């Protein structure tokens, strides 16, 4: 071990940046704290404009060779990265849980296998990426996807490695080089990813990892003139700053932002299913952008729905996320907990009623909360809390349900519970959302477009949509009979 290596639950993690195929330390550090118990994990290299410039320079230098690498070879390396992830699922899982507080069982069974799948999917999609040629007045049109160039990917803390590789995998598959900037509250698995990628044979400079604060290293990255793409997942205020930073260079952006998604429960729905869907919204301590945090329930079944929900929620176990029986872990940081509680206390002061919860349990954990008697224009209904806080409102008609569902500035997702197929078709057609789930939740396929409407984001990723963003899509038009015979 060296002064730049942490041991996290028995796993060695390098605390330095990864730039140009080597480890680079900063003069300053920042403190990484575990949300499980508030203990200090260690000191992490704190990037500045200097490291940002070095990372972009490394990505720019590596780009021509990586862009010229055949699709088959790029795909082979991405599959090798997936192999490396699968060999280290247990290590990645325990480090991620220690760093961001999400359930260890979820990391082992779902999240880390999905990380490997991200690489395999985009490697395979690359090999079949094509558009059928078509003719215009006898001329042949041929569509191709050219690598765009160095890309900066800025990722959140709620699902650090899974959401990072959701961006890294298609960007690398497209032939771009990458600078990954993980969230400062959960930087550790990005460092491990750099090790895995290097072991898999990814050339130096193709993937770079720079840690630190957005105001110090993030701004220097997003304003860099040599960038060709920026992808960000996070909050609306941060997205605005990134967009302003990128505007001077007209750098294309993909923004996956927050949500205030509704769960619409109609009287004809299977109430047991609806309650199961509702309780699922406490997943990851409510720190899920797609969560249906606003319950809109038809008046005639609202009382019964609420009774069953309270009974079901009471069976959840909140505590140490490393324990197999835990259902809800901690929130990421004391500052986030304070923000959550401030939302709730303001709502209660304004007349809301806490059916369950409504308070913090200690400095790391917030009690699962359901608030009723909330006005549609209230802060708690309109703004993203990003914690285990849900609201319940009622409606009397289908039209009212749709109006309430659409009446926020967001449009990331919506969930609908009904036994009427025709109603489902009518309502989903009217909902403003990038993804709508009918009688299910969080069923995701990488082939599908993903993104939000309104303030929930700009652009779509997944399948070919990802390549459309990370590439310069070119159309080549060839005239007929234009070739000289040199035979």
CB atoms under 10 Å from CB of 250, counted, come to: 7
User: What is the Cα 8 distance to its own chain's centre?
Assistant: 24
Give me the pLDDT at residue 395, please: 98
**pLDDT tens profile 423-453:** 999 999 999 999 999 999 999 999 999 999 9
CB atoms under 10 Å from CB of 261, counted, come to: 31
Q: How confident is the model at residue 270 (pLDDT cuts 50, 70, 90)?
A: very high
Give the separation between CA 58 and CA 194, rounded to whole angstroms.
Answer: 14
Catalytic residue among 51, 184, 216, 289: 289
**pLDDT tens profile 46-66:** 999 999 999 999 999 999 999
Cα 146 to Cα 126, 175, 197, 318, 476, distances in angstroms? 12, 8, 23, 48, 12
**pLDDT tens profile 275-330:** 999 999 999 999 999 999 999 999 999 999 999 999 999 999 999 999 999 999 99
Residue 137: which region, alpha, beta or left (left: phi > 0; alpha: psi -120 to 50)? left
pLDDT exceeds cutoff 60 at 202: yes
User: What is the Cα 103 distance to its own chain's centre?
Assistant: 17
Catalytic residue list contains 289 = yes
Catalytic residue among 184, 216, 256, 384: 256
Cα 24 to Cα 52, 58, 282, 318, 359, distances in angstroms? 12, 12, 39, 39, 43
Residue 294 backbone dihedrals phi, psi, to 5 degrees: -110, 110
Cα 79 to Cα 75, 124, 202, 204, distances in angstroms? 6, 9, 11, 17
CA–CA–CA angle 247, 451, 465 (5° rounding): 85
Give me the pLDDT at residue 485, please: 66
Strands 435-438 and 353-356: unpaired
Strands 294-298 and 389-395: parallel
Q: Which domains does the chain have, with CATH numbers?
A: 5-257+452-475 (3.40.605.10), 262-438 (3.40.309.10)
The DSSP element (H or E) to which 273 belongs, if any, is helix 271-279
Q: How confident is the model at residue 486 (pLDDT cuts 50, 70, 90)?
A: low
Number of residues written out for the chain:
487
Give the separation between CA 101 and CA 331, rounded to whole angstroms.
Answer: 7
Which residues are bridge partners to 471 per DSSP? 147
The half-sphere exposure of 244 on its side-chain side, counting CA atoms within 13 A, is 7
Give me the pLDDT at residue 393, please: 98
Mean pLDDT computed over 150-179:
97
What 8-state DSSP symbol labels residue 225?
T
pLDDT exceeds cutoff 80 at 483: no
Give me the pLDDT at residue 1, please: 52
pLDDT exceeds cutoff 90 at 222: yes
Give the separation between CA 253 and CA 205, rounded to whole angstroms.
Answer: 22
Structure tokens at 118: 């991200």
Give me the pLDDT at residue 362, please: 84
**pLDDT tens profile 362-420:** 888 999 999 999 999 999 999 999 999 999 999 999 999 999 999 999 999 999 999 99
**Alpha helices for 107-159 (secondary structure H):** 112-128
pLDDT exceeds cutoff 90 at 148: yes
Give me the pLDDT at residue 360, please: 93
Cα 45 to Cα 184, 310, 434, distances in angstroms? 10, 45, 37
Of the candidates 316, 324, 321, 266, the one whose C-alpha atom is nearest the C-alpha of residue 295 is 266
Of the candidates 165, 151, 179, 171, the one whose C-alpha atom is nearest the C-alpha of residue 52 is 179
Distance between start and end Cα atoms, the chain: 67
The half-sphere exposure of 418 on its side-chain side, counting CA atoms within 13 A, is 21
Of the candidates 413, 411, 415, the one whose C-alpha atom is nearest the C-alpha of residue 455 is 411
Which residue has 């109006």 as its token pair?
A: 403
Structure tokens at 440: 């299910």
Catalytic residue list contains 256 = yes
User: Using CB atoms within 10 A of its CB, is residue 89 exposed (0-12), middle (13-18) or buried (19+)?
Assistant: middle
Question: Are the CB atoms for 417 and 266 separated by under 8 Å?
Answer: yes
pLDDT exceeds cutoff 80 at 173: yes
Strands 5-8 and 11-14: antiparallel
Give the separation between CA 428 and CA 422, rounded to whole angstroms.
Answer: 10
pLDDT exceeds cutoff 80 at 23: yes
Give me the pLDDT at residue 366, please: 97
Cα 361 to Cα 291, 318, 340, 357, 450, distances in angstroms? 22, 10, 12, 9, 35
Mean pLDDT computed over 347-357:
98
HEC profile of 286-313: HCCCCCCCEEEEEHHHHHHHHHHHHHHH
Question: Are the CB atoms for 376 and 404 separated by under 8 Å?
Answer: yes
* pLDDT, the chain, mean: 96
The DSSP string of 346-370 is HHHHTT-EEEE--SBSSSS-B--EE
Question: Are the CB atoms for 233 and 163 separated by under 8 Å?
Answer: yes
């Amino acid at each position: 071990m060296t002064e730049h290596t942490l041991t996290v639950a028995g796993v060695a993690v390098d605390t330095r940046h990864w730039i140009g195929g080597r480890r680079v330390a900063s003069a300053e550090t920042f403190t990484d704290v575990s949300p499980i118990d508030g203990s200090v994990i260690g000191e992490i290299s704190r990037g500045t404009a200097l490291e940002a410039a070095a990372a972009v320079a490394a990505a720019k230098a590596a780009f021509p060779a990586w862009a010229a690498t055949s699709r088959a070879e790029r795909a082979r390396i991405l599959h090798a990265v997936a192999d490396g992830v699968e060999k280290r699922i247990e290590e990645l899982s325990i480090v991620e849980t220690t760093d961001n507080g999400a359930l260890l069982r979820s990391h082992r069974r779902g999240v880390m296998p999905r990380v490997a799948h991200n690489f395999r999917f985009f490697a395979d999609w690359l090999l079949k990426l094509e558009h059928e040629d078509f003719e215009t007045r006898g001329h042949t049109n041929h569509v191709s996807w050219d690598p765009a160039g160095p890309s900066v990917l800025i990722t959140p803390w709620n699902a650090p490695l899974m959401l990072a590789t959701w961006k890294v995998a298609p960007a690398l598959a497209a032939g771009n080089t990458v600078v990954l900037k993980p969230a400062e509250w959960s930087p550790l698995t990005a460092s491990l990813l750099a090790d895995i990628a290097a072991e898999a044979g990814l050339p130096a400079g193709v993937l770079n990892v720079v840690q630190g604060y957005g105001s110090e290293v993030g701004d220097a990255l997003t304003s860099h003139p040599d960038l060709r793409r920026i992808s960000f997942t996070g909050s609306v205020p941060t997205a605005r700053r990134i967009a302003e930073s990128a505007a001077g260079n007209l750098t294309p952006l993909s923004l996956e932002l927050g949500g205030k998604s509704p769960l619409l429960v109609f009287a004809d729905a299977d109430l047991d299913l609806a309650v199961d869907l509702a309780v699922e919204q406490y997943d990851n301590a409510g720190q899920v952008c797609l969560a249906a945090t606003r319950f809109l329930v038809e008046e005639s079944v609202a009382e019964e729905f609420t009774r069953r929900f309270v009974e079901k929620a009471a069976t959840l176990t909140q505590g140490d996320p490393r324990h197999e029986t835990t259902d809800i872990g901690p929130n990421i940081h004391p500052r986030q907990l304070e923000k959550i509680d401030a939302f709730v206390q303001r709502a209660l002061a304004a007349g809301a009623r806490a059916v369950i919860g409504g308070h913090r349990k200690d400095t790391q954990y917030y009690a699962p909360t359901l608030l009723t008697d909330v006005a549609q224009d209230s802060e708690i209904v309109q703004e993203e809390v990003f914690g285990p806080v849900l609201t319940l409102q009622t409606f009397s008609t289908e039209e009212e349900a749709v109006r309430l569902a659409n009446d926020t500035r967001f449009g990331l997702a919506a969930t609908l519970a009904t036994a009427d197929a025709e109603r489902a078709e009518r309502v989903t057609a009217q909902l403003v959302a990038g993804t709508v789930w009918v009688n299910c939740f969080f069923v995701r396929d990488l082939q599908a477009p993903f993104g939000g409407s309104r303030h929930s984001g700009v652009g779509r990723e997944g399948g070919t949509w990802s390549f459309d963003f990370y590439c310069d899509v070119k159309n080549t038009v060839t005239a007929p009979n234009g070739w000289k015979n040199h035979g």
